[in-house]
Structure 1
Amino acid sequence: MAPWLQVLFTLVFAGLAGALIWRLTSIDKALWQNRPILAKRLEIYDRIAPDMNRIYCFRRLVGYWKEISPPDMIATKRRLDREVNIYRHLLSEDFYQRHFEFMQLCFHTFTGQGEDAKIRAVVTHDLGDRRVHAGYDWDEAWEPMFAPDELPTDYQIDEAYMQAMNALRRSIGLRDID
């Protein structure tokens, strides 16, 4: 091979190697810059997801519903509303809308000035009686905390919960699981 061709080949190879190193360095830098953002988003997920699941379990009488009293449920709603509104601008509008839809199915809000939201559920269900099967002593004063009229179906609750959780996952930067 001619010496000038060897030099040309070496220069082209060195140029390509330099471009590849530069590109890999910029990708690495971008990953390190995004790491704190991802960590914050995962922290937000860890604050929101358990309360959404708590509401879902209580409403559907699945999982650990027997451990959650009606006052705990109202406190969970307040805590979740606060967290979602604090982080609204770091999360997607899709998540905010899906969360709102889920909460509207689970709670009857704006029930009167100074009144708490009412839980859209029944006290006695085919899956269990909250007065008897729960792991706490039932207080008759909790009955008015429920809004048993115009209840959404279990399917509607399931679908809204899954939509909200999927939107939350996408909102923090995790892709859908196939």
Structure 2
Amino acid sequence: MANASAKRIAGQNESTVKTLKLGMLLPTLVSLLLRFLLRRSSLPPSKSSLALYIVTFLPAFFLSNYLIKIGQPRRDPTTGTLISYGEDLGQAGVTEWCFDILYVTWACQIGSGVFGEWFWWLYMVIPLYAIFKLWTSVISPMFLGRGSSAPSEEGSEKTTATSKRQEKLKKRQEKGDPRVKMQSVRK
């Protein structure tokens, strides 16, 4: 069963790696084509436009190479059997954020080709989301505490009901009830 899962992840990773390789080339070509067809006055691109493109292309390039490196399945060159399926590129967390940055970069490249350089303002979604995540997961809990200062009525009823249950379980455990012996009381 584990082998089937590894093969499934390897297949998904191979298709994702192909998409990543195409994604580094295709948005640039589409952007240039759209500029040529829709906005000839923007050709050749200005220095600020090129600088903006390069500044955003470099992180996308490094993230793409990182994802390709960790996600590339390794196979035996002679038999073609799967040696390692690589890291799962569908997992949540940092991998997911890398893909988000790539998708926003590609959207900005294509959008700037169609609508103009102001479309690069969409790139501000990335630092704004980073600030949001930092606030909700680190800063707010550290300075404002985990919960709200005034619990709602539902919250107080729930804790009362839970504490009564815990008291019952504790009393049963003290009496030596076999139903509770194996269970531990949560605090």
TM-score normalised by structure 1 residue count: 0.31
Report which of the two has the higher share of helix: 2
Q: Identify which of structures 1 and 2 has the higher relative contact order when contacts are C-alpha pairs closer than 8 Å and 6+ apart.
A: 1
